Amino acid sequence: MMNVSAPGPLQQLQTSARRRWKRWINRRIPPARSLTLDQKRIFIFPSRVGIFFLLTLLVMLVAAINYQNNMTFALTFLLANLFVIAVLHTFANLSGLTIKAVRANPVFAGQKAEFEIQLSRGAKRRHRALTLKWSDSDTVTVSLDEAQELSVKLYLRTSERGWHTPGRLLIETRYPLGILRAWTWIDLDIRALVYPRPVASGPLPGIASDRPEGTSVPVPGQDDFYGLRDYQTRDSLRQVYWRSLAKGQPLQTKQFTAYADTSVWLDWNMFEGLPAEQRLSHLCYWALEYDQSKDEYGLRLPGVSVSPALSEAHRQRVLRELALFGVDDEA
Amino acid sequence: MKLEQQIPRNALIWIVLAQFSLLLPHLGRVPMWLVLVYVAAAGTRVLVYQGRWSFPSRGVKVVCAATCLGGIWLSYDSLIGLEPTVALLLVAFSLKLLELAQKKDAYLLLFLAYFVCVTEFLFSQELQVTLYLLAVVTVITAALVALQQPEKLEFSLLPLRRAGVMLLQAFPLMLILFLVFPRIDPLWSVPLQRQAAKSGVSNFMSPGDISNLSLSGDVAFRVQFDDFVPARSQLYWRGLVFSKLEDSTWRALTWSEVPANERRPLVVQNLVGQRFDYSVLLEATQQNWLYSLRYARPSDLGVMSTNDFRLQSPIELEDQKEYRVSSWTDIPIELELSDWRREVETQLPLSGNSRTRELAQQMYSEAGEDSRSFVRATMAMFTEQDFHYTLRPPRLGGNSMDEFLFESRRGFCEHYAAVFVYMMRAAGVPARVVAGYQGGELSPINGTLIVHQFDAHAWAEVWLPGEGWVRADPTAAIAPERIERGLQYSMGDDEGFLSGSPLSPLRYRNVAWVNLLRLRLDAMNYSWQRLVMEFDSAKQYNLLSGLIGEISPARIATLVGVIWMLVLGPVLYTLLRRPARAKLDPATLSYLDFCDRMAAQGCVREPRETPADYARRAIEQRPEWGEQVMAITGAYETLSYLPPLQDQEAQLQKLRNLVRGFRPRKQ
């Protein structure tokens, strides 16, 4: 008997075919922020309705031959050539369309990311009944009739933090007769930033939950020096106490303190023992909380440090660091 | 239901329109209740659309379908044959409206609509019908286009335009395919089983049959003579020979009544005298006899001669038929009469019409028992005595000959022909009734002779020793203008002439322009029938060899290829011509120049970034540009977003100078 767990030859063939297909389409339609569709990028084939249409024509042809009816011949040939003409019209309905990736708004994991795409046409061209779809997005049908350009928003569900790349966008049309389907798969080189899903946690360690006015709680920070401790690999090099090295002592790190009266450091180490993703989710939650209550907050992740501040740009910076922590940015 | 599967409102209107225009030409053929079914179905569908009703349940639909099926069975007594099949198609077509919910239903319906066009062509391929169906095909195609435009809510003509353009582009390609597609024999034989009424002269004649035909202005056949057209009084189109009188009905001999040795066609060997060559295009008659001048010899293989000098087709004519004939009008036929023939052509019922018999025998003996003088005397009797030629003769009883000859004395051609032959036979002279058409209208447009149904005629033939069968037309004696000029001139308008065709343009033949128009249309129809409807492999061969010389697959492929290039090239060009670059106003051009300069420094404007956003980002990156960037952006925004200023030109110049002066250097 065959070993079930090992990939069967069929599966292997499938994977290899998929890989080959990917390589081929990448060569044929390379990723781009903006592109105009031309014959190299458009595929066309009869739709299911079109095949049914051709079957109807076949029946009509048989009727024409059997009844020796010249007008039935003429009608059959007229419709057959209508099919040929429809190939050109359907193709032209897609060709010349310019698609530009505009932006993808950042979202929290689990939400739907909004991708904005701009379609534009040449001065004398019209594009009707275009259907846009990513493999896991909703379908949007638009026409570029009167307007010169049109912005289309597509929503994609996200699951993991980091960069969300939607894959190839399918643009298809069956206009004008529905008997042919012209389509293209384009890689718009667009990606959405996905923040960690905010997850509430118990009160932050070392910070009073009610945060009474004027209470000064030392939390690790950068404001005032208050002592030295042994160097840890993740510590910032700026805070290394180099003199101890000169004295032949083990490397030490300067410890500063920040006061939590108005600003807070959200620290990776606050959630000792929890898995990385959960830590990020908690940090994300607290960042949003502090932002909401208009308190300054900073972020400290291994290798990352954002000093406390309070602004929209700051919020975005913090969330971005959380989203991309440990993610290869260029991937 | 998914949104993209719904049928747009615009498409629904087009579908109903397409269906209705398809139903229209079938109106005369289908029972009236079928139209009601359609109207009810369409009404229901509209109410469903308006949300006032919901789609009928499965049970209701099944009941509807079963009722209609039963209705067709009752109306036609059969479900097989062309008419019931068309009725079935139309019923399916109408009832499909009741479950027209999704796009795929609509596609099914519209493809079915294309097929219903084919059924219409099986009934008629005339020019008018073809043009009408071309319009219908455009509407069906428009409905297909409308299905693809989900956002169009109101009724719009746009789909019709698109459909028209596409069909127009497909048309020349259709023509070339029509020309070169091999006309192969039927794959299997399919009798049409049309229930259409047989038209024209029928194979028996009782009093009143021919006069009924005179009510119709339809074309019976058209004749194109090669060079000479015989005189009108010579145009006797023989179709049938009636040799048997039974129950006051004249009829042709059946096949079994003719002994085997008499069945072979009679042929005249020595062909002399005036010869006419012509081709006849006969409309579908559902009969198998053909019309010709005597003595006729066909040049087509599919046309047979008979033992009474007629022409016949081996099959009933379900479609129009064109055949070529040569006729020698002066040649004597059947100089020697066989005993059997003599017996048959002098036979009369054993009793009845005694006064007529008496009169005939008396006149025969008065003529010295000479057939020739007897014929002359009989003709003279019709002219000299008080006989009337009328389309509305009184009804005759059992001894119809006696009543006609001695009492009413009013009759149409069939009465005179019948009584003439009766008298001949009563005296022992071989004679028979011939039915067909007489005369025709010579079209000044294309020189064809148009023979209408009202030209139907009956006359007699007598056999004279030494002369063979001689034509004797009592109508010519009583109403010579009927023969010389045609029925329309011999009848007053009150006589019921053409009363079966109230709309026939023939009624207005006295109005010159109507008449000219009618003849022009007829000439077009004739050309259409000969060139297009009758296009067959022989005509195809002639045409193609005229076009490309030797016929080989390679040459045909080249021909098709060249035509396709000639058509598809321009179509593709108009569809894909490079878009002209959108015209930009000078302010924007200047601003884009500025953007390019910034981009060269690594500060690229994002798509859809507003100028203000772009400026803010740029200053954040390169604070030292601040002043210039602000000035340029401000000037551009003033120019493009505010209403035009008085010093528009100066402002524009200012923007240009600013941009020109903006020369950032790399950090």
Most confident of B196-210, B425-439, B636-650: B425-439
Task: Report ipTM (2 d.p.).
Answer: 0.76
Buried/exposed B644-654: b ≥16 CB within 10 Å, e otherwise = eeeeeeebbeb
Output the CA angle B197-B199-B205, nearest 5 degrees. 110
DSSP at B102: B
Give the residue from chain B lying closest to A66, CA to CA.
B186
**Least Cα separation, residue B427 to chain A (angstroms):** 52
CB B278 within 8 A of CB B317: no
Window 104-163 of A: residues touching B by CB (8 A cutoff) are 116, 118, 121-125, 128-129, 131, 139, 141, 143, 148, 151
Q: What is the pLDDT of residues B574-589, one digit of tens each?
A: 887 755 445 567 788 8
Give the residue from chain A lying closest to B143, CA to CA.
A177
Q: Looking at residues B116-139, what average pLDDT do you find?
A: 91
The two tokens of residue A9 are 């030859």
Listed residue (B356, B361, B339) closest to B428, CA to CA: B361
Q: Which residues of A touch B171 (CB under 8 A)?
A: 78, 81
**Least Cα separation, residue A207 to chain B (angstroms):** 35
pLDDT greater than 70 at residue A202? yes
What are the Cα distances from residue B396, in Å, to B217, B253, B310, B402, B458?
27, 25, 31, 9, 18
Question: Letter for the amino acid at A328?
Answer: D
Query: Which uninterrupted H or E stretch holds B239?
Result: strand B236-242
Q: Looking at residues A5-23, what average pLDDT do you find?
A: 81
CA distance B489 to B634: 93
User: Is B579 within 8 Å of A125 when comparing Cβ atoms?
Assistant: yes
Q: Looking at residues B480-501, what average pLDDT do you find?
A: 64
The residue to which tokens 């693809």 are assigned: B148
CA distance A272 to B133: 82
**Least Cα separation, residue A314 to chain B (angstroms):** 15
Three-state SS sequence of B567-590: HHHHHHHHHHCCCCCCCCCHHHHH
Listed residue (B281, B113, B147, B14) closest to A75, CA to CA: B113
pLDDT of residue A225: 59
Give the residue from chain B lying closest to A50, CA to CA.
B107
Q: Which residues of B touch A59 (CB under 8 A)?
A: 115
- Those residues whose C-beta lies under 8 Å from the C-beta of residue A91, and which sit 6 or more positions away, are A39, A42, A44, A182, B575
Q: Which residues of B touch A129 (CB under 8 A)?
A: 148-150
Alpha helix locations (H) across B352-459? 354-366, 371-384, 400-403, 413-426
User: Is B174 within 8 Å of A33 when comparing Cβ atoms?
Assistant: no
Q: Which residues of A touch B105 (CB under 8 A)?
A: none
pLDDT greater than 90 at residue A78? yes
Task: Pick the range with the lowest mean pLDDT from B50-54, B259-263, B468-472, B484-488.
Answer: B484-488
Interface size, chain A vs chain B, as Cβ–Cβ contacts under 8 Å: 171
**Least Cα separation, residue A221 to chain B (angstroms):** 27
Q: Looking at residues B327-343, what average pLDDT do you find?
A: 88
CA distance B390 to B384: 17
Q: H helices then E strands: how many in chain B?
A: 23, 18
CA distance A26 to A28: 5
pLDDT of residue A214: 40
Q: Looking at residues B335-358, what average pLDDT do you find?
A: 88
CB B246 within 8 A of CB B252: no
- Burial-class residue B77 by CB neighbours within 10 Å (0-12, 13-18, 19+): exposed
Distance from chain centroid for Cα B505: 18
Strand partners, A186: A169
CB B192 within 8 A of CB B80: no
pLDDT greater than 70 at residue B496? no
Q: Looking at residues B433-444, what average pLDDT do you find?
A: 88
The residue to which tokens 């009725």 are assigned: B87
Of residues B137 and B123, more confidence is placed in B137
Listed residue (B640, B426, B144, B196) closest to A85, CA to CA: B144
- Burial-class residue A49 by CB neighbours within 10 Å (0-12, 13-18, 19+): buried
To the nearest whole percent, how much of chain B has pLDDT over 70?
Answer: 90
Alpha helix locations (H) across B77-157? 82-95, 103-123, 127-147
CA distance B443 to B519: 6
Alpha helix locations (H) across chain A? 9-28, 48-67, 70-94, 242-246, 276-292, 312-324
pLDDT greater than 70 at residue B101? yes
Q: Helix, strand or coil for residue A151?
A: strand
Optimal mutation site among B102, B117, B174, B193, interface A, most CBs of chain A within 10 A: B174
**Least Cα separation, residue B125 to chain A (angstroms):** 6
CB B42 within 8 A of CB B97: yes
Strand partners, A173: A130, A182
CA distance A7 to A28: 30
Window 175-214 of A: residues touching B by CB (8 A cutoff) are 175-179
SS3 content of chain A, % helix, strand, coil (to 5): 30, 30, 35
Give the pairing of strands A107-108 and A192-195.
Answer: parallel
Listed residue (B400, B415, B510) closest to B460, CA to CA: B415
Q: Which residues of B touch A86 (CB under 8 A)?
A: 166
Q: Looking at residues A95-117, what average pLDDT do you find?
A: 87
Q: Looking at residues B229-244, what average pLDDT do you find?
A: 89
- Those residues whose C-beta lies under 8 Å from the C-beta of residue B520, and which sit 6 or more positions away, are B445
Look over chain A and give the mean of its residue pLDDT values, rounded to a whole number. 81
What string of DSSP letters covers B306-326? -TTS-EE-SS--SS-EEEEEE
User: Is A62 within 8 Å of B187 when comparing Cβ atoms?
Assistant: yes
CB B267 within 8 A of CB B309: no
Give the residue from chain A lying closest to B150, CA to CA.
A129
Optimal mutation site among B1, B166, B167, B614, interface A, most CBs of chain A within 10 A: B166
pLDDT greater than 50 at residue A13? yes
pLDDT greater than 90 at residue A210? no
CA distance B437 to B451: 7
For A141, which of B4, B117, B608 is closest by C-beta distance?
Answer: B4
Q: Which residues of A touch B532 (CB under 8 A)?
A: 70-71, 74
User: Is A56 within 8 Å of B111 when comparing Cβ atoms?
Assistant: yes
Q: What are phi and psi of B460, to 5 degrees?
A: -125, 160
Query: Which uninterrupted H or E stretch holds B249?
Result: strand B249-251
CB B421 within 8 A of CB B346: no
Listed residue (A168, A191, A34) closest to A101, CA to CA: A34
Length of chain A: 331
What string of DSSP letters covers A223-272? SEEEEEEE--TTS-GGGEEHHHHHTTSPPEEEEEEEETTTEEEEEGGGGT
User: Is A72 within 8 Å of B145 when comparing Cβ atoms?
Assistant: no
For B115, which of A56, A125, A178 is closest by C-beta distance?
Answer: A56
The residue to which tokens 């009934």 are assigned: B123
Query: Which uninterrupted H or E stretch holds B174?
Result: helix B158-180
Query: Which uninterrupted H or E stretch holds B276?
Result: strand B275-282
Listed residue (A240, A156, A80) closest to B177, CA to CA: A80
The two tokens of residue B660 are 């020109």
Q: What is the pLDDT of residues B171-226, one digit of tens each?
A: 999 999 998 898 888 777 655 555 555 566 777 777 667 777 776 778 889 999 99
Look over chain B and give the mean of its residue pLDDT values, rounded to a whole number. 84
CB A54 within 8 A of CB A81: no
For chain B, report the end-to-end CA distance as a whole number of angstroms: 60
Listed residue (A220, A198, A226) closest to A207, CA to CA: A220
Listed residue (A227, A225, A285) closest to A258, CA to CA: A225
Strand partners, A155: A114
What string of DSSP letters covers B622-667? -GGGHHHHHHHHHHHHHHHHSPPPTTHHHHHHHHHHHHHH------
Chain B contact present for A82, CB below 8 A: yes
For chain A, report the end-to-end CA distance as a whole number of angstroms: 42
User: Is B122 within 8 Å of A121 when comparing Cβ atoms?
Assistant: no
User: Is B579 within 8 Å of A66 when comparing Cβ atoms?
Assistant: no
pLDDT of residue A212: 40
DSSP at A210: S
Q: Looking at residues B159-169, what average pLDDT do you find?
A: 93
Q: What is the pLDDT of residues A288-303, one digit of tens each?
A: 888 888 888 888 888 8
CA distance B497 to B507: 9
Distance from chain centroid for Cα B276: 30
pLDDT of residue B475: 87
If phi over 0 gives left and psi between -120 and 50 gives alpha, with beta otherwise, what is residue A163? beta
To the nearest whole percent, how much of chain A has pLDDT over 70?
Answer: 79
**Least Cα separation, residue B219 to chain A (angstroms):** 21
Strand partners, B388: B410
pLDDT of residue B481: 78
Domain boundaries, chain A: 28-194, 218-324
For A75, which of B121, B147, B184 is closest by C-beta distance?
Answer: B121
Catalytic annotation, residues of B: 413, 457, 473
For B177, which of A77, A102, A121 is closest by C-beta distance?
Answer: A77
pLDDT greater than 60 at residue B639? yes
pLDDT greater than 90 at residue A61? yes
Q: What is the pLDDT of residues B43-65, one digit of tens each?
A: 888 888 888 888 888 888 888 88
